[in-house]
Amino acid sequence: MSNFFRGLARFRRAPWENLSTVLIGLGVVMLMQPFFLWAFSYSFIVTLVGTVMFIIVSHFPE
């Protein structure tokens, strides 16, 4: 876990990619879940942040 945070602080690709992957996955789940309308409303912004983050962090060093 500490490696993960150290990687984030050093702008390493793998932890940032994992974080953006989680955001994209969370956004998709929020978009399609049947329980909360507020989660559906915020799903797009979560997915968008995850996707843009993924594009940026895929250029970070390994």
Partner 1 sequence: MTVTPIDRMARATPPKLARRVRGLSDRAIAWLFVTPTLFLLLAINIFPLIWTVRLSFTNYAANRPAREVEWVGLRNYERILTSEGIWSNMQTTAHFLIWTITLQVLLGFTLAWLINRKFKGNDLLTTLIVLPMMLSPAVVGNFWTFLYQPQIGLFNYVVELVTGTPASSFSMLGPGGLAKWSIIIVDTWMWTPFVMLICLAGLRSIPDYIYEAAEVDRASKWRQFWTLTVPMVLPFLMLAVLFRGIENFKMFDMVVLLTGGGPGNETLLASIDLKREAFEKWRTGYSSAYAIILFVTVFGLASIYVKALNKVKER
Compute the C-alpha angle 56/9/39, nearest 5°.
60
Residues 23-62 interacting with partner 1 (rule: CB under 8 A): 24-25, 27-28, 31-34, 37, 40-44, 47-48, 50-51, 54-55, 58
Which of these, 52, 61, 49, 46, lies nearest to 7 by C-alpha position? 61
Task: Pick between residue 8 and residue 28 the one whose CB is nearest to partner 1.
Answer: 28
CA-CA distances (angstroms) from residue 41 to 11, 38, 50, 62? 30, 5, 16, 35
Q: Does 19 bind partner 1 (CB under 8 A)?
A: no
The residue ranges that bind partner 1 (CB under 8 A) are: 17, 20-21, 24-25, 27-28, 31-34, 37, 40-44, 47-48, 50-51, 54-55, 58
